Chain A
Amino acid sequence: MAFDVDKVLGDMLKAAEAAAKAQWPKLRAEATEQFKTLAQIGARIEARKAAGTITEENARFLMWQYKNAVETELLTIQGVATVLVEQVINAALQVLRAAVSEATSGWVVV
């Protein structure tokens, strides 16, 4: 079966969106760039396989390496999304902290 770059890229982005959850809009542009590069690598390997310009051994080897790199990139997307969620929560807490500090004029809670 031919390697459809657009479909593979779409599938990768769906997986990335699932990993990034609500943070996906902030990550979409850069993740798309990363996955586009990877999808093009996959497409080139498949095209060479179809053209008979790559050995079976090398095609199998490179495709596995490629899939492993995609999985690793998904971990990165998930990690960056987690950092963003953390920043959102802490920004909200900072607002709360400022409001409480103002309301209590610098009390220390024990």
Chain B
Amino acid sequence: MLVRLVSFRGRGPGACALGLLLILAGCAVKLIADYDEKLDIGVTEIQRKVEKILTKIQKSASDPSKAYDVADYDAIREDLDVLRTRASSVDKNHLTIAALYRVGYALLQDPPTPDGSDPRLPALPAAARGNSLQERNQSRGRLAAEDLSELRRILDSLFQSVLRLELAKKRGDRIPETDKAP
């Protein structure tokens, strides 16, 4: 294919404006990071781990502390740390990073918190203290079947929000539907 190469140097403001227009026309704007399949898979894996914990709690709902195993939560913390580091390495990804912090707030006692250098990331609210899944799992207070059902719905919604945000980065034109937890 024959193409013509053009230089606008020294050709005046009109030529410069045309040059700028041509350059703009050649650009694509990116306002948010791209879809990351590993993040999608990683969040789904955390959801699976949470579902296992909930099943254990359900079996000893009269005293959830009997179903508590710190290793379950350590594994989730490790997964979240890896995903957050991965998300942080990508430009224009603060919404996903913020969502991952919120997953930590929901699940972990003493969750990782932002260092305060980015005001867009959510600090740990005072109300979160004592109300993570990990803390509730250590408590002896009974969880009724209805409580567990509501908790499942809430956590499903939380994970779906994180996954829908990631899937939206595939540049669909609407909020994508996600599959329910396996």
Contact = CB atoms under 8 A, between A and B. Distances in A.
A103 B13 CA distance: 19
A62 B151 contact: yes
Interface residues of B, number: 60
25 contacts: A27-B175, A30-B175, A34-B161, A54-B144, A55-B141, A57-B141, A60-B131, A65-B158, A68-B106, A71-B122, A75-B102, A75-B161, A75-B165, A76-B168, A83-B32, A84-B173, A93-B25, A93-B27, A93-B28, A105-B4, A106-B1, A107-B3, A108-B5, A109-B8, A109-B19
Interface of B: 1, 3-8, 19, 21-32, 95-96, 98-99, 102-103, 105-106, 122, 127-128, 130-131, 133, 136, 139, 141-144, 146-147, 150-151, 153-155, 157-158, 161-162, 164-165, 168-169, 171-175
Given A108-B6, A110-B5, A61 B21 contact: no
A61 B122 CA distance: 19
Nearest to A70: B157
Contacts of A31: 175
Contacts of A76: 95, 99, 161-162, 164-165, 168, 175
A97 interface: yes
Contact of A68 (B3, B8, B102): B102
Interface of A: 26-27, 30-31, 34, 37-38, 41, 44-45, 48, 53-55, 57-58, 60-62, 64-69, 71-73, 75-76, 78-80, 82-87, 89-90, 93, 96-97, 99-101, 104-110
Closest 6 pairs (CB-CB, A-B): A64-B131, A97-B25, A76-B165, A86-B31, A100-B25, A79-B165
Contact of A75 (B27, B30, B98, B136): B98
Contact of B29 (A37, A55, A65, A89): A89
Nearest to B176: A80
Contacts of A84: 173
A62 B161 contact: no
Contacts of B1: 106
A93 B136 CA distance: 52
Contacts of B157: 34, 37-38, 41, 69, 73
Contacts of A96: 21, 24-25
Contacts of B5: 107-108, 110
Contacts of B103: 72
Contact of A109 (B26, B133, B158): B26
Given A55-B142, A79-B169, A87-B171, A108 B106 contact: no
Contacts of B102: 68, 71-72, 75
